A and B are shown apart, each in its own frame.
Chain A
């Protein structure tokens, strides 16, 4: 029997625009965000945890729409909801002008957080003791105006958290970047090292900011864990998403994943060489999706590669393919037309066509800038299309490496 159990959740980004989704999917995905939080509360009640730890980025930005705000302040009013401890992140920092963290401004609009919801409002670590629990929850918040480069686990920052507090178990909830594990496209905010985490006075650190699950282990089990985003916020957040149930004993901490996002994100590659029509390309993608076990409710990024027959242009998935799953993103940057460049390179060089191809191939080889190389390669294919097909159709703007 664990001394204390919590449900850890973070990076919900309520109110996110989901601009990368098709317009008709965006509202549905936002509803799924809300449903995930409702499910998290229900799980917390069902599992009878001591509290819910929200490690930042509950909201996507400093201003959210009224419906989202109303939902958030009311979702924790479910009967039996345990105490909720929120550590604002870099997307929803605390400030005097925050429309949802400033109780006064929130009250002006007719809302207020329930009494059992506690928001850490300072960049300094502060404690919240839970009634009837041996756990002392320490939290800090991102604050507007405070540099995000501050190191939250630096001993100088820990302050009172480092002082002796008797037998209470200290649990931290905060938003920060684990050095060495920064995901592509993510910004550093509140950096800390594994060493700082190990040396901190906390038996467990509930971290937020990274959208993929990860953990720092030590002899006593889990020292620090990212629950990841409760639902996938971007198309590159592969795998399952949800919350963590954290079971804390004096000498051991374990986590258990609680899936909240019914959709999964996949990434796969499809070779379209020899495909003589858009439909054939779609068919190959279909096959790859089926082969990867992508469900109708899932999201997938498909990277096309290979050489399409000359004159074949593949612009976007057909209606049938688009309806195959919740969201499909296709990356055609690696696809090339089926011009025999090698033959042109090895040819006599007597015709304009051969000489044209050789000239641009030489420029590609000598160009360092990848963008410029892509432009030259596009020019090559357009020229060859013009010479061979007597027609030029846009389609090589997204060539990449």
Chain B
């Protein structure tokens, strides 16, 4: 063992254990010897007394405490009383500071003796206090507790020699205990534990601002990050606030623009009210004018009401009747009648006409005879007569035409024949010559004049051929014309024959009829028939006149009636033209009345405003403010109501846009302001807290690092000195 002499002297305090004799100490009884120059390792079974041996050594060096005030349950003095009873005494032989000492303690009696190797008792040299003899204190320089910390590994503490846990191994090793003693006055902590505590504090730094417990480095990083985030957020809020300025400026401009627009709108609306008032007044005035017009039309219609019954066609009919009457009168008027004497005409009655008719007849008895003869003719007899006359007329005409056609056809045929002959003759000649030559040629060919036959052949053949050709051409020339002319001639002749036969038949029938009617001859019959026709025509003319006279009277009556129907009294002293004029006026009046009542007045009434509309307009006019009074001097080029309405609508649209823009800007400005003021203060305060926390964390880290560094350096140096001291003490012993 080596104690550290508090005086600083090296080598003092070194003690070697030599022998322990226990006459009675707990379970111990006997003598134990130690090798002072070796490590003494005590091994034995459990409960064999190993710890008791160490306790006995400590008791020999320091005694046993019997103070019940300190140890209420069991004092060390009582604890180590021999188990088997008997003496309670131990003796320890040791070497201290080069001197061999024997320490004897009798715990029963409470005595202590210390003898040196020269046989001298040196007990007093180890007295500390009244009855206390701490040999260990003096020899080792350690008190009992320090001695136990440095030198004792009791039973149950063996594991702590090399404990399983590294930390515990560190803390509980002998070295650690030595370090404890070196590092602190109390000796219960060593520098390593302190460093561990410092490092542990740096590893688990609690930061309330982060709500976490982390390494201080990590805490600092997070605080810095959080501060940067807050800086960014604060900067963003401040930037937002700054950006309010242009928005505010724009808002002011929008407000001013809106104000101007509203003032313009007010002016436009005043102008519109004036225009509307003018329009309403105008409508009311026009309606009043229309009402006056309607009244006028009604008055006119009322004045024309008596004419309303005049038919529209009265004038035309009257005019027609008068024209027909004039025509009829003219037909009835004697040639020498004076123009304009139609006033006296249509006095011709049927009797007058009969008389006139009789006065124009030459032989009344003959006429009666004619009427008797031909009045009872049968229809076929009449037909015969008519037919004969008609046929005669037609026949003569047709016969003349047929004769002309026959003549023409004959002439044509003669012409055509001449033409054909003109070709036929040469053709016959050539053909004859040709055939003759050819025959001759053939005849000569057989004789000695064959050569000449060839000549004849070559000359005769073409001629024959040419002649045949001419004949063919002549045969065909104008064949169709010839045929047509022959056909026409034939047809004409046939027709003539037919007509002739029919004529003969008609004459036969006429003759038969003449005999039947008692005429001497067909000629007489025809003559009488003609007279009869003339008689009939005369009688028809007279009848027509009679009817004309009746018609004239009727027409006159109708005309008068038409006048009277129209409310015009017929004045024989006035001409029809005058009456017509009056009638025309009444007809126009009736037409006008109809137009008024059926079209003009209804149309005018439809154009009128109804009472409710008039009332509304008047109310509207009354409700329009005073500035709607008519402008006595309206500005040139003042706008129409429609233009004003459009301008107002457009301006309202502009105002709506401005209001919307104003609202948007105000919301944006107020939102930014609200957000800034709601968040900035809190974030600034939070940033301040972060800054404070950061400062504290950094200072803490600095302090811990400084403490750690300083402690480490100092502890190393201190331990080095201790190690040197122990080493020197071991060598010198």
Contacts and interface: CB of A to CB of B under 8 A. Distances in A.
Q: Do A and B bind each other?
A: yes
A104 B700 contact: no
Contacts of A356: 707, 710-711, 714-715
Interface in A326-369: 347-348, 350-356, 359-360
Contacts of A385: 197
Nearest to A356: B714
Nearest to B695: A397
A92 B525 CA distance: 153
A375 B717 contact: no
B685 A19 contact: yes
Interface in B175-189: 182-185, 189
Contacts of A353: 183-185
A97 to B, nearest CB: 5
B696 A394 contact: yes
Given A63-B676, A65-B673, A97-B245, A351 B718 contact: yes
B74 interface: no
Contact of B696 (A19, A392, A398): A398
A375 B706 contact: yes
B238 to A, nearest CB: 9
Leading 10 A-B pairs by shortest Cβ distance: A17-B681, A65-B677, A392-B201, A378-B703, A19-B685, A397-B696, A379-B706, A386-B194, A383-B707, A352-B183
A386 B711 contact: yes
A272 interface: no
A379 B248 contact: no
A390 interface: yes
A382 to B, nearest CB: 5
A149 B242 CA distance: 25
Interface stretch (B251-259, B502-510, B585-593): B251-259
A379 B699 CA distance: 9
27 contacts: A17-B684, A17-B685, A19-B688, A63-B673, A63-B676, A65-B678, A66-B674, A99-B245, A99-B248, A105-B248, A105-B249, A108-B254, A350-B718, A352-B183, A352-B715, A360-B706, A360-B707, A376-B703, A378-B699, A382-B198, A382-B703, A386-B201, A390-B197, A391-B201, A392-B198, A393-B201, A397-B703
Contact of B703 (A15, A23, A68, A396): A396
Contacts of B190: 352
B703 A386 contact: no
A74 interface: no
Given A63-B676, A382-B703, A397-B699, A360 B255 contact: no
Contacts of B245: 97, 99
A380 interface: yes
Contact of B707 (A19, A386, A389, A394): A386
Interface of A: 15, 17-20, 23, 26, 63-66, 68, 97, 99, 104-105, 107-110, 347-348, 350-356, 359-360, 374-376, 378-380, 382-383, 385-394, 396-398
Nearest to B703: A378
A375 B248 contact: no
Given A18-B681, A390-B194, A63 B184 contact: no
A376 B246 CA distance: 53
Contacts of B198: 382-383, 386, 392
Interface residue tally of chain B, by bracket? 35 or more
Given A65-B673, A387-B184, A391-B197, A109 B249 contact: no
Given A18-B681, A108-B254, A379-B707, A394 B184 contact: no
B699 A375 contact: yes
Interface string B140-175: 000000000000000000000000000000000000
A63 B190 CA distance: 61
Q: Interface of chain B, helix or strand or loop or mixed?
A: helix
B561 interface: no
A19 B710 contact: no
B714 A375 contact: no
Interface in B667-725: 669-670, 673-674, 676-678, 680-682, 684-685, 688, 695-697, 699-700, 702-707, 710-711, 714-715, 717-719
Contacts of A375: 699, 702-703, 706
A48 to B, nearest CB: 36
B71 to A, nearest CB: 26
B145 to A, nearest CB: 16
Which of B251, B677, B678, B697 has most chain A Cβ within 10 Å?
B677
A348 B205 CA distance: 34
Contacts of B684: 17, 19
Contacts of A391: 197, 201
Contacts of B666: 109-110
Nearest to B181: A351
Given A107-B252, A387-B191, A391-B197, A352 B711 contact: yes
Which of A351, A352, A374 has most chain B Cβ within 10 Å?
A352
Contact of A108 (B248, B697, B705): B248
B700 A394 contact: yes
Given A359-B714, A378-B703, A382-B198, 18 more contacts: A65-B676, A66-B673, A97-B248, A99-B244, A108-B251, A351-B182, A352-B182, A352-B183, A352-B715, A355-B717, A385-B197, A386-B193, A386-B198, A386-B201, A386-B711, A388-B189, A391-B197, A397-B695
Interface string B5-18: 01000000000000
Contacts of A360: 706-707, 710
B241 interface: yes
A106 to B, nearest CB: 9
Contacts of A386: 193-195, 197-198, 201, 707, 711
